[in-house]
């Protein structure tokens, strides 16, 4: 009887030892998966950094080439006529708070209101990070309604990443904003619907450089 009890005790002790060893072992594949994900993250960061450097070099080289020879870019204007009567009023919908503000469609504020969807969509796809501030046109967000509204921008310098501000306050400046979304290297420019040039070829490099690069980096690359 004692011998049988001893055998049972030994069997239970062995079972507990096996169970303890099993619980301490890592889940199969967990460590490998962690290492694999880390490697993928590093690869993605490397690819993104390389892509940015390629984009930066392409843009700066293109701006330098245009500055040296503006005639290398073909400028043309597609004639476009809209025979329908434009609406009298338009609605500015604030991207920040959603407040709606009515403006006369033919006014500067009305033009900005109509550009909001286009600008927000285009800036998300742009090679240079530019943030738009529409607060002056919102009846709720505007800090000083007594001043003429300005469309304000903050650029993260393409080269060094430092931020700098600029703004658009005239109709022609609003028309020129589409130049920010040209494909690089620039070989041609369609100056759009009004059938007249929005910018002189000699000014294209300067215009884009002043909005893509901070003053120090413009000077560094001979684009000041």
Domain extent, residue 69, equals: 50-220
Number of independent structural domains in the chain:
1
Contact 136, 150 (CB under 8 A): yes
pTM to 2 decimal places: 0.73
Q: What span, in angstroms and rounded, lies between the C-alpha atoms of 168 and 193?
A: 20
Is 34 or 106 the better-scoring residue by pLDDT?
106
Q: What span, in angstroms and rounded, lies between the C-alpha atoms of 212 and 27?
A: 50
Sign of CA dihedral 52, 53, 54, 59: positive
> Is residue 215 over pLDDT 90?
yes
> Is residue 129 over pLDDT 60?
yes
Residue 28 lies in a domain: no
Supply the pLDDT for residue 81.
56
| Residue percentage of the chain with pLDDT more than 70 | 71
Residue 82 lies in a domain: yes
Residue 45 lies in a domain: no
Mean pLDDT score, 67-76: 91
Supply the pLDDT for residue 87.
83
pLDDT digits (tens, 9 = 90+) for 88-102: 999 999 999 999 999
CB-count exposure of residue 105 (10 Å: 0-12, 13-18, 19+): middle
DSSP string across 154-192: EEE-TTT--EEEEEE-SHHHHHHGGGGG--SS--EEE--
């Amino acid at each position: 009887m004692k011998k049988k009890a001893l055998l049972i005790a030994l069997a239970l002790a062995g079972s507990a030892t096996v169970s303890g060893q099993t619980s301490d072992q890592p889940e199969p594949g967990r460590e490998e998966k962690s290492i694999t994900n880390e490697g993928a993250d590093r690869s993605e960061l490397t690819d993104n950094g390389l892509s940015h450097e390629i984009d930066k070099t392409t843009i700066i080289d293109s701006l330098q080439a245009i500055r040296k020879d503006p005639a290398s870019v073909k400028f043309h204007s597609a004639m476009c006529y809209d025979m329908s009567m434009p609406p009298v009023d338009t609605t500015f919908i604030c991207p920040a708070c959603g407040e709606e503000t009515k403006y006369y469609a033919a006014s500067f504020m009305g033009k900005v209101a109509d550009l909001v969807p286009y600008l927000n969509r285009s800036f998300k796809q742009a090679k240079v990070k530019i943030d738009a501030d529409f607060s002056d046109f919102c009846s709720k967000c505007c800090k000083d309604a007594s001043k003429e509204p300005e469309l304000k921008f903050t650029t993260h310098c393409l080269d060094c990443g430092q931020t700098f501000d600029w703004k658009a306050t005239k109709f022609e400046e609003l028309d020129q904003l589409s130049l920010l979304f040209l494909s690089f290297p620039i070989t041609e420019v369609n100056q759009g619907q009004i059938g007249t040039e929005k910018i002189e070829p000699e000014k294209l490099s300067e215009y884009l450089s002043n909005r893509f690069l901070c003053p120090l980096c413009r000077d560094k690359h001979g684009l000041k």
